Amino acid sequence: MGADNGADWVTLIDDVSVSTGPVVQGTTNMLSATVQPGIQVSWSSGSGANYQVQSAPTVSAPWVNLGGLIGGNGGTNDVAAPVDSPFKFYRVRQIQ
């Protein structure tokens, strides 16, 4: 699902790995989380369109550009970024 030209949307992504052991009724399973050193944002792009990847610590905070404009290739575009805070939101805006 996407948005119309000029519209924004947010996709929340979590990189989660879960393993199971024997299930014992009445016990709580504890899972540990590992913070990954970076993320990759991927999207389907239109040929000739320009895109700007942005991030923010909250959905309502000001969005900050990650790098410059990226030209669409009519396929899949992607951008890698370091993880520099425990919580961050990402979005891709189509720029006319």
Q: Find the domain containing 18 and state its range.
A: 10-96
* Predicted local confidence at residue 8, as pLDDT: 56
CATH number of the domain enclosing 42: 2.60.40
5 part of a folded domain: no
Q: How high is the pLDDT of residue 2?
A: 45
Task: Answer whether 44's CB lies under 8 Å from 92's CB.
Answer: no
Mean pLDDT of the chain: 78
Angstrom distance (rounded) from CA 52 to CA 90: 11
The dihedral region occupied by 26, where left means phi > 0, alpha psi between -120 and 50, and beta the remainder, is left
Q: What is the pLDDT of residues 64-87, one digit of tens each?
A: 999 999 999 899 999 988 877 878
Report how far residue 27's alpha carbon sits from residue 35's, in angstroms, rounded to the nearest whole number: 26
Domain count, the chain: 1
